[in-house]
């Protein structure tokens, strides 16, 4: 049987304060009936993603999109069809949304999204909605005071909300001590902290998750931490992205986008191949390697969640 291919545009509509997202319940008589969804629907053959989404949001909710940005594209195999979910983050709209087709519609705090049953294809969308566009990887820093000052600067001045503690030069005890203080600092500003290292680190420090090296990623056979924690990994090619999907990673970095001073001999991926790899990833992907925050819009345009960087956020 040749499966039907369905192209669907859907919207994560974000409230003005950035804290809530609008979801709707699918009527009980359609496929995936009774489950919650991001409003949207099937595109006509001649429609673009955003064009079709504008029509759908008008039909289903009575709102007009004012400002939107691509969030994530997901290819998913349902038993009866291949679906491409083309998801947009809508930051501004006009009109007061209501269920024009009689469907329930609800504003939900980001952190409560996981409590709602969605179709199977939606898990990566939930992750993408909850993640920011910038991922700070901390720099190597001998001095604890200096480290704290730079982290504080990134959180306060740059508004960073997702941090990876990477400190290869520290021994275990020093790493754990730094992790505790970094966690306190991140909590203070509502930022998430991932520890770069072994999953067992979470038994000592109650951080938000673990970031695996690509080497460690390839050795593991199953997801090493609970679902409530974030699992991220570094990837450099298709094989590693596939493994990240198999382990149920919540997001990954893909690098090096550009050649960097720290790895002058590693051939860069480049935007063209990056876009192709991201398209099949089915999880949020941060572009890494010579990235600055000014690359974030371009990264989003080719399907990424955003950019990860040490140098640009560590000053
Ligand atoms: N809108 C939407 N559809 C989703 C999501 N997740 C997911 O798997 N889907 C699937 C369910 C459906 O098979 C398909 C969307 O079709 P739809 O029923 O919304 O299409 P439509 O609005 O054009 O409605 P219709 O005219 O075909 O009745 O995509 C989601 O978050 N939002
Ligand atoms: Mg629909």
CATH number at residue 187: 3.20.20.70
Residue 38 CB–ligand 1 contact under 6 Å: yes
Q: For residue 120, is it within any domain?
A: no
- Token pair 């990566």: residue: 124
Say yes or no to pLDDT of 76 above 90.
Answer: yes
CA–CA separation, 304 and 315 (whole Å): 25
Residue 30 CB–ligand 1 contact under 6 Å: yes
Say yes or no to pLDDT of 1 above 80.
Answer: no
Tell me whether residue 60 is annotated as binding: yes
Residues 149 and 258 in one domain: yes
- Can you name the residues that pair with 14 across neighbouring β-strands? 21
pLDDT tens column, 180-205: 999 999 999 999 999 999 999 999 99
Contact between 205 and 193 (Cβ < 8 Å): no
Residues 90 and 148 in one domain: no
Question: Rounded to the nearest whole angstrom, what is the distance from the C-alpha of residue 77 to the centroid of ligand 2?
Answer: 18
Query: What is the reported pLDDT for 262?
Result: 78
Query: In which domain, by residue range, is 38 found?
Result: 4-112
CA–CA separation, 285 and 234 (whole Å): 10
Residues 195 and 159 in one domain: yes
CA distances 104 to 26, 42, 203, Å, are: 8, 19, 41
Q: Domain boundary at 56, 77, 112, which?
A: 112
Residues 158 and 246 in one domain: yes
Q: Which of 118, 92, 87 is nearest to 23 (CA)?
A: 118
Q: For residue 314, is it within any domain?
A: no
Contact between 247 and 274 (Cβ < 8 Å): no
Question: Rounded to the nearest whole angstrom, what is the distance from the C-alpha of residue 38 to the centroid of ligand 1?
Answer: 9
Confidence of residue 312 (pLDDT cuts 50, 70, 90): confident
Residues 101 and 151 in one domain: no
Mean model confidence pLDDT for the chain: 96
- Mean predicted confidence (pLDDT) in 231-242: 98
Query: What is the reported pLDDT for 266?
Result: 86
Tell me whether residue 47 is annotated as binding: no
Q: Best mutation site among 13, 41, 99 for ligand 1, i.e. most ligand atoms within 8 A of its Cβ?
A: 41
The minimum-distance atom of ligand 1 relative to the CA of 37 is 31
ipTM: 0.95
Query: What is the reported pLDDT for 261?
Result: 82
Q: Best mutation site among 40, 80, 127 for ligand 1, i.e. most ligand atoms within 8 A of its Cβ?
A: 40
Q: For residue 267, is it within any domain?
A: yes
Total domains, the chain: 2
Q: For residue 127, is it within any domain?
A: no
Query: What is the reported pLDDT for 263?
Result: 80
Say yes or no to pLDDT of 176 above 80.
Answer: yes
Residues 82 and 181 in one domain: no
pTM: 0.96
| Ligand nearest the Cα atom of residue 42 | 1
pLDDT tens column, 92-102: 999 999 999 99
Residues 67 and 162 in one domain: no
Report which DSSP code applies to 211: E
- Mean predicted confidence (pLDDT) in 43-52: 96
Tell me whether residue 37 is annotated as binding: yes
Tell me whether residue 64 is annotated as binding: no
Residue 37 CB–ligand 1 contact under 6 Å: yes
Residue 41 CB–ligand 1 contact under 6 Å: yes
Tell me whether residue 101 is annotated as binding: no
Query: What is the reported pLDDT for 110?
Result: 94
Residues 19 and 156 in one domain: no
Which string of b and e fits 16-50 if b means at least 16 CB within 10 Å? Answer: eeeebbbbbbbeeeeeeeebbbbbbbebeeebebb
Tell me whether residue 132 is annotated as binding: no
Q: For residue 124, is it within any domain?
A: no
Residue 298 CB–ligand 1 contact under 6 Å: no
CA–CA separation, 44 and 83 (whole Å): 14
Question: Rounded to the nearest whole angstrom, what is the distance from the C-alpha of residue 26 to the centroid of ligand 1?
Answer: 8
């Amino acid at each position: 049987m040749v499966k039907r291919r369905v192209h669907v545009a859907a919207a994560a509509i974000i409230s003005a304060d950035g804290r809530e997202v609008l979801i709707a319940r699918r009527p009980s008589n359609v496929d995936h009936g009774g489950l919650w969804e991001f409003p949207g629907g099937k595109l006509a053959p001649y429609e673009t993603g955003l064009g079709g989404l504008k029509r759908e949001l008008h039909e289903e909710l009575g709102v007009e999109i004012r400002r939107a940005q691509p969030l994530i594209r997901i290819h998913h195999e349902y038993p009866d069809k291949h679906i491409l979910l083309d998801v947009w983050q809508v930051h501004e709209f006009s009109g007061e949304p209501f269920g024009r087709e009689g469907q329930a519609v609800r504003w939900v705090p980001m952190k409560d999204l996981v409590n709602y049953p969605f179709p199977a294809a939606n898990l990566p969308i939930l992750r993408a909605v909850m993640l920011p566009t910038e991922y700070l990887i901390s720099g190597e820093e001998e001095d604890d005071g200096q480290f704290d000052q730079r982290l504080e600067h990134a959180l306060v001045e740059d508004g960073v909300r997702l941090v990876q503690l990477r400190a290869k030069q520290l021994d275990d005890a020093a790493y754990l001590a730094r992790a505790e203080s970094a966690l306190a600092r991140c909590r203070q500003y509502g930022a998430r902290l991932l520890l770069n290292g072994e999953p067992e680190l979470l038994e000592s420090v109650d951080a938000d998750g673990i970031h695996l090296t690509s080497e460690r990623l390839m050795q593991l056979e199953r997801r090493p931490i609970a679902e409530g924690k974030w699992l991220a990994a570094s990837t450099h090619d298709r094989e590693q992205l596939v493994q990240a999907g198999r382990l149920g990673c919540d997001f990954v970095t893909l690098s090096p986008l550009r050649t960097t001073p720290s790895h002058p001999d590693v051939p860069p991926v480049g935007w063209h191949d990056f876009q192709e790899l991201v398209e099949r990833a089915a999880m949020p992907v941060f572009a890494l390697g010579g990235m600055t925050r000014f690359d974030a819009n371009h990264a989003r345009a080719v399907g990424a969640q955003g950019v990860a960087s040490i140098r640009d956020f560590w000053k």
